[in-house]
Amino acid sequence: MGQLEIELNTQVSTLEEVNARDLAPYQAVYLGNPYCPKHAGNLLENHRELAEAITRLKGMGKKAYVATPAAPRTGELGGVEKLVETAARAGADAVEAHNLGVVRLVHRRFPGLPVHTGCFANVYTDLGAAKLKEYGVRRVTPNYEVSLEEIHLIREAGGLEVEILLHGKMPLGLTNSCFLLNFPDHPCPQACREDFWLTTRDWVLKITGTVVWSGKDVCMLEHLPYLLESGYRAFRLETLYEPPEYRREVGLIYREALEHMAEGRELLWPAWLEMLKNWSRHGFCNGYYFGQAGRMYINQYGEPVSI
């Protein structure tokens, strides 16, 4: 992304999703679904395809990060080690860990392989981030409940790169048993290809097996200039469980916005927001970045609005 060296990244579950067209807007890709081993085609369960996916990304000039299971039990650690070994041999640029045990495992068995922590690693404080640095962590995604004011402190004191969720549904909860198994008309693994929504009052959540997601899409487009001014350079567009068109189109809108910002061109807020809205079924929120309830949306003028 030009002189600013901005990384726009996203996540895919399967080899099929690793294609140049849909990933065109991104500089880096997290490979594999950390939440469910049974997800059809999950790259974390097929190491040959994982190696192929890494090679493909490298061929496209992109960085390849490899996800790891979010909450592995002791009996699964051997498999995690083999997964990381495959990733390292195939030339992955980093692995992502939501589990602190996995962070330790990678640090001890694969010293030098950079680790990024995901939102479920629960980085809430600067001291927590600084401690993780001693375990080979190079980049943290603070827990999504952490405000921008706190994220600044984590970055400054922790001395680590910080990744920011820029757009997409954010995970709100992780469980150990698949919710969708309650619906025999939608058997595993096909159920994961279906969108399931939970609705009560005016709240909407999305549910995919073991993860509850925000029903609204986090949208930080209007705040992107502030994030860039604040020095953030790694941004995630969460597209797990989204169709390829979402990954491509939302990515292209952000890429265009970043290019306009880098080149000092006119910022087309209404047009970009309108285009993003086409991909959001239940509207936007900003998550917890401004200290509010996660479902609220604060615009660039600091006003809470419904969008």
What residues line the site for another protein (CB under 8 A)? 71-77, 99-105, 120, 122-132, 135, 143-145, 150, 153-154, 157, 172-177, 179, 182-183, 185-186, 194-201, 203, 205, 207, 212, 214, 288, 291-295
Region of 201 please: left (phi>0), alpha (psi -120 to 50) or beta: left
Minimum CB distance to another protein smaller for 202 or for 263: 202
Least distance between another protein and beta carbon 145 (Å): 5
Closer residue to another protein (CB): 29 or 172? 172
Q: Give min distance, CB of 305 to another protein, in A.
A: 18
Distances (CA, A) of 80 to 87, 95, 180, 204, 299: 10, 11, 25, 34, 41
Structure tokens at 125: 């404080």
For tokens 């030009």, the residue is 2
* Beta strand residue intervals within 185-253, DSSP E: 196-200, 203-208, 211-214, 217-219, 234-238
Question: Nearest to residue 246, comparing CAs of 297, 188, 195, 306?
Answer: 195
HSE-CB for 96 with a 13 A CA cutoff = 29
Rounded least distance, CB 11 to another protein, Å: 18
Closest approach, Cβ 58 to another protein, in A, equals 29
- What is the smallest separation between the CB atom of 13 and another protein, expressed in angstroms? 19
Query: Which residue's CB is nearer to another protein, number 28 or number 220?
Result: 220
Residue with tokens 């068995």: 109
Nearest distance, CB of residue 109 and another protein, angstroms:
10
Q: How far is the CB of 254 from another protein (least distance, A)?
A: 23
Nearer to another protein, 176 or 306 (CB): 176
- The whole-angstrom separation of Cα 12 and Cα 22 is 10
Q: Which is nearer to another protein, 53 or 218 (CB)?
A: 218
At residue 146's C-alpha, the angle toward residues 270 and 204, to 5°, is: 60
Q: Choose between 50 and 123: whose C-beta lies nearer to another protein.
A: 123
SS3 call for 304: strand
Which residue, 13 or 208, has its beta carbon nearer to another protein?
208
Q: Which is nearer to another protein, 25 or 128 (CB)?
A: 128
CB of 59 to another protein, least distance (A): 33
Candidates 67, 55, 57; CA nearest to 24 is: 57
Query: Which amino acid would we find at residue 298?
Result: I
Q: Tally helices (H) and strands (E) across the chain.
A: 8, 14
| Short-list 63, 60, 49, 61, CA closest to 91 | 63
Judged by CB, which is closer to another protein: 132, or 220? Answer: 132
Minimal distance, residue 148 CB to another protein, in Å? 12
**Chain position carrying tokens 């860039």:** 228
| Stated length of the chain | 307
